[in-house]
Amino acid sequence: MRISQVALSGFGRIFLLLVVGAFMAVPTLSQEKKHTHSHTFTAGEPGDPKKPARIIEVLMGRQEPKMFFKPDVVEVRRGEQIRFVLKNIDPLKDHEFVLATREENQKHAEEMKASPNMKHDDPNGKTLSSSEHKELIWRFTRTGEFEFSCNLPGHREAGMVGKVIVK
């Protein structure tokens, strides 16, 4: 008798359904979803950690009822490499730093409303847990104005938007 011809008992069918269901449910058990991009970037390109970079410390946090980045305006030269030292000084809330155009960040903020637990570890964006520090190294290859923002639901609206002016 071949295995495909074996009839499963009631218990066997239930066991098989439970095993298959458990494997299908594993990705949905996690509350945290990592999000990565693999495309070109409008605000420049990922920097080279082996090359010199000007260091700019960016604090992110909140002072009720507003949320903030300090500084919220950064000026750089085209071709300059910047090491953003990101510090979430908020003891209670996660925040993120996403470097893109205003339009890209606004679009992504809408996507984040559908997936509020999405975490970023991209060349142009980092999610920081409360009181966490991270770095983002970036080389600005184009002149113009770009934006950094926290796209977590409600944070952008509460003031977590900054500007990079590339001359």
Average pLDDT on 56-82 reads: 96
Q: Supply the pLDDT for residue 91.
A: 94
Q: How confident is the model at residue 115 (pLDDT cuts 50, 70, 90)?
A: confident
Over residues 129-140, the mean pLDDT reads 97
Can you give the residue ranges of every domain in the chain?
Answer: 35-166
The per-residue DSSP string of 9-44 comes to PHHHHHHHHHHHHHHHHHHHH-S-EEE---S--TT-
pLDDT of 60 > 70? The answer is yes
Q: Say whether pLDDT at 26 is over 90.
A: no
When the pLDDT of each residue in the chain is averaged and rounded to a whole number, the result is: 83
Provide CATH code, domain 35-166.
Answer: 2.60.40.420
Q: Region 49-70: what's the mean pLDDT?
A: 96
